Amino acid sequence: MGYRLALLMAACASLFAQAPEQQHETTTIEQRFSRMESDFDELVNNLEDLSGVSSIRMDLESQMKEIREELALLSQAVDPVPSAARLSPNTLTGYQATRTRNGLVILISLRAVEPYLEGYKLKFDLGNTAR
């Protein structure tokens, strides 16, 4: 019985014993697997960082939209002169201020509306605020 046990142990030892080149390959594979695990962990961390960047970008875009809206309101409050005047034949008195493309403010008033051929003739009074 002791002889059989010794034979069985020898057979198991020979099965589990590896040649030196097999041990080297196993070590190389384990090292490569370890590097792959660390690379994978790094990729997961990078993806988490990117999702954070995406939410930060969305927050910044939202803040920029709010800033643009506030700027538009402030520019209207600071510079209430419109770029167009609304004139009506029902109100032939008074001037309205309007701004030209180069920033000059002029005053305009509708003085008269008269029928002319198949349309109307309009007469305006213009005022220059630069002088």
For residue range 25-38, list pLDDT tens digits in order. 677 777 887 788 88
Say how far apart CA 27 and CA 36 lie, in whole Å: 14
Tens of pLDDT, residue by residue over 46-96, are 777 777 777 777 888 888 888 888 887 777 666 666 677 777 777 767 788
- Could you write out the DSSP letters of every residue in 81-102? --SS----TT--SS-EEEE-TT
Write the DSSP symbol of residue 103: S
Q: What percent of the chain has pLDDT over 70?
A: 71
In a 13 Å sphere around the CA of 8, the CA atoms on its Cβ side amount to: 5
CB atoms within 10 A of CB 110: 21
The Cα angle at residue 45 between residues 60 and 30, in degrees rounded to 5: 165
